[in-house]
Each structure stands twice: as structure tokens, then as C-alpha cells.
Structure 1
Amino acid sequence: MNWVWVITGAAVGAPLRYLTDRAVQARHDSVFPWGTFTVNVVGCLVLGVVTGAVTAGAASSGLRLLLGTGLCGALTTYSTFSYESLRLVEGGAVLYAALNVVGSVAAGLGAVFAGVSVAEALWG
């Protein structure tokens, strides 16, 4: 039955990723992949909150599967992040590529730590 939670979360996360990416990118006249950056950082924040809530006993393993594995798994995208970084390098935007790699990793780690901290403050 766990697979139903994962599939349900992914069914929401995948279109949410696409729609968010398009909406964010449409607002920026830049080669920097702001849409992918946004969904990845938001996904890290959500995963941090969910993980912290489960660890504190405030959320079930079903919710972890629904939101953590399903939603965040489909919302975030390492492959697109990698491809867009490569595309920036190939297009001569090496600084943007470096900022994307360093910024995405730093912001993602910061967001997951922030999410866990929020969960600990709420349920710890």
C-alpha cells in the first residue's frame, strides 16, 4: 500500500514542478535556470519539514512517503539541474553555471536545515 502514497505525491509533484518552473522562468529574462533552482530549493525545504515532523513523531510514515518521497521526489530534479548547468557551460555562461551549481547546493542544504529547524521548533 505504500506505493499508493508515493504515486499520489508524484502525481502532484511532477506537474507542480513543470508549472512552477515555467511560471518562475517566465518572470526572469536571464539564461540562469531560476525555475529549476526554485523547485529544488522549495523541495528541500518541504523535505526538511517533513523529515523533522516524522522524527518528532508529529507525522506518519505515510505522510513521509506522500510528501517526502512522492511529492518532493517528483518536484525536485537533479537531472534537469545537471543538464541546465552543462547547457550554460556549453553556451559560454560559465559564471552562471558555477553560480547555479554552488548556489543550488548551498541553498538546498540551507533549506533542508531550515525545514528541520522549523519542524523541531514546532514539534520538538
Structure 2
Amino acid sequence: MTLTFYQKILWLVIAGGIGALCRYGLSGAIQKNMTILFPMGTFMVNIIACFLAGALFTLFQEKLELAGEIRTIIFVGFFGAFSTFSTFMLETAQLLRDDQLTWAIANLLLQNGIGLLSMLCGIIVGKFI
């Protein structure tokens, strides 16, 4: 199955929309039942996404021959909107699988550390705009 550029974009939009709606619905359903301030809805979505992304990636690599275009639609479209955290973890796991421990640790530390620092800087800048 070969998709044209515009067909790929359309399918990415559809998969992304479904992923965003799933994230919104699941996160909201979990969070509304929480009595603590911890963002359990987001936490659970990220953990579920990591599990599903890992399971599906392995299934597609080892058991099912699925076209790269379809994988892109699933992982970039659906999981990209459902949780970018799952992509981050999948890439880190691939580094570990490829015996790239230094790069895996760097990925974890840099994305979390610089990500938090960037968020805090953005908050500061946002207050002055």
C-alpha cells in the first residue's frame, strides 16, 4: 500500500485527532476521580502509552509485517497526539537495546532537565509579555 503525500497527511491528522481525543477523555476520566493534586490522569496516559507503544512496536517489528507508512500513522499520528512521552521512552529503549547506554542516559537527563528548564524560562518570559 502506497499513500500519496496528501493521503499520509490526512491519515496523520485523523490518527492525531483520535489520539488527542483519547488522551483528553482518558486523562479527564482518571483525574476527575482523584482527591490528590498529583496529575494522575497525565501520568496514567503516559504509562499506558509507553506500554502500548512498546508492545505495538515489538509486534510490528517481530510478528507482523506492517508498511512503514502505517507505522508512521500509528506512532507519529496517534501516539504523537496521545503522548509524546511514549515516543521519548521508545527512543530511549531503542538506545539501550542498541547498547548505547551513554546516549540513553543523556537522552533521559537532557530531555527532562532542559525540558524543565525551558518550561521555567518560558513561564518567566510569559510573565513579562
TM > 0.5 fold call: yes
After TM superposition, list the pairs within 5 Å mapping 1:113-124 onto structure 2: none
> Which of 15, 29, 44 pairs up with 2:35?
29
Q: How many residues in Structure 1 have an aligned counterpart in Structure 2?
A: 83
Distance 1:27 1:20 in 2: 11
CA distance in 2, matches of 1:45, 1:72: 11
- Kindly provide the CA deviation profile for residues 59-101 of structure 1, in whole angstroms up to 9, marking residues without a partner as x: 33233122211111101155xxxxxxxxxxxxxxxxxxxxxxx
Identity of aligned residues (%): 27
Structure 1 unaligned segments of length 5 or more: list them.
79-104, 114-124
After superposing on structure 2, the runs of 4+ consecutive aligned residues of structure 1 that deviate more than 6 Å are none
- Pairwise CA distance, 1:18: 0.9
Aligned pair in 2 of structure 1 residues 63, 46: CA closer, same or farther (>3 Å)?
farther
Residue 8 (structure 1) aligned to one of 8, 11, 14: 14
Alignment of 1:96-107 (within 5 A): none
CA apart distance, 1:4: 2.7
**Cα-to-partner distance string for 1:5-60 (whole Å, 9 max, x where unaligned):** 32221010111111111100011111010100011111111211221123225133
> Any residues of structure 2 matched to 1:82-97 within 5 Å, and which?
none
Residues 1:18 and 2:20 aligned together: no
Instruction: Indicate the residue corresponding to 2:75 in structure 1.
Output: 68
Alignment pair present for 1:51 and 2:57: yes
Look up the equivalent residue of 2:14 and give its one-letter code.
T
In the alignment, the residues of structure 1 paired with residue 11 and residue 77 of structure 2 have an alpha-carbon distance, to the nearest angstrom, of 7
CA contact (8 A) 1:17 1:76 kept: yes
Q: CA 1:60/1:46 → structure 2, altered by over 3 Å: closer, same or farther?
A: farther
TM-score (norm 2): 0.54
In structure 2, relative to structure 1, the CA distance for the partners of 1:77 and 1:57 (3 Å cut) is closer
RMSD, matched Cα: 2.5
The whole-number CA distance in structure 1 between the counterparts of 2:59 and 2:9 is 21
Which structure has the greater CA radius of gyration? 2
CA distance in 1, matches of 2:84, 2:37: 18
